[in-house]
Amino acid sequence: MSRFVSEVSETEILLVTRRLIRSRGVDGFDLKDVAVMVRRPEAYIRKYYGNKRALLRSVKDGVLEDLRFTLQNAVIGLDEPIEKIYAICKAYRNFANKQPELFRLIHRPELKTGEFAEEKEICDPVFELVSEVAGDDHAVSASRFLASFMYGFCSMEIDGSFRLSGSVDEAFEYSVRSYFSGLEGTKNLTFL
């Protein structure tokens, strides 16, 4: 009789991997650690995922789905595009602060796929909102600016890179208000 009586599902492997990422970071464990946590040989993990990168991509897909759900819920009951963008920014920041290692995971360059389909599901609704405010001519640039600002701000915050005195919350609010001010003003810019 085998010492491994019951099977461990892919879902259990992904949950264990998430726990390891949260506690040790992406680089702080390997497939052997996952195998120990699910009480199976490493070959069992490799049956589902050939290597750590494949496992991390699967975890990333689940995290992106969680983030998409979080951002969708953030705009329920809101009518104005600016309100929705603001709610999305706050929800994204909250997600990064509550799950910093998972936030880092979804932005790892080596886990990007060629078509960015999973990121597109998150970005398209934001792009549409930005387009409503900035206009179609500026929507791509304004969306890229928002994405880079949010990623940069959240990365700096979770890494403890804000060294100046004062409230990081106030800095966030000021930055988002400044973005909105510029977003609405881009419709009339002709000198660039």
**Structural domain boundaries of the chain?**
1-50, 60-188
Question: Which tops the pLDDT comparison, 185 or 58?
Answer: 58
Among 34-38, 72-76, 106-110, name the one with the lowest average pLDDT: 106-110
Grade residue 3 by pLDDT with cuts at 50, 70 and 90: very low
Residue in the structure block whose two tokens are 């880079």:
148
At residue 132, does pLDDT exceed 70? yes
Residue 4's pLDDT is 47
At residue 110, does pLDDT exceed 60? yes
Say if pTM beats, i.e. exceeds, 0.85. Answer: yes
Question: Which tops the pLDDT comparison, 70 or 1?
Answer: 70
Q: What is the mean pLDDT of residues 151-170?
A: 93
What is the DSSP track for 33-95?
A: HHHHHHTS-HHHHHHH-SSHHHHHHHHHHHHHHHHHHHHHHHTTT--SHHHHHHHHHHHHHHH
Quick: pLDDT tens for 16-42: 999 999 999 999 999 999 999 999 999
The highest-level CATH class for domain 1-50 is mainly alpha
Percent of the chain with pLDDT over 90: 69
* Per-chain mean pLDDT for the chain: 88
- Which residues, at least 6 apart from 112, have a Cβ–Cβ distance to it below 8 Å? none
Residue 191's pLDDT is 39
Does the fold of domain 60-188 match that of domain 1-50?
no
Grade residue 114 by pLDDT with cuts at 50, 70 and 90: low
At residue 159, does pLDDT exceed 90? yes
Residue in the structure block whose two tokens are 């700096």:
156
Residue 116's pLDDT is 62
- Which residues, at least 6 apart from 34, have a Cβ–Cβ distance to it below 8 Å? 13, 16, 17, 20, 45, 55
Residue 183's pLDDT is 78
Grade residue 190 by pLDDT with cuts at 50, 70 and 90: very low
HSE-up (13 A, CA, CB side) for residue 15: 6
Q: How far apart are CA 47 and CA 44, in angstroms?
A: 5
Distance of CA 135 to the CA centre of its chain: 26
Which CATH number, 3.30.420.40, 3.40.190.10, 1.10.1060.10, 1.10.357.10, labels domain 60-188? 1.10.357.10
Residue 6's pLDDT is 59
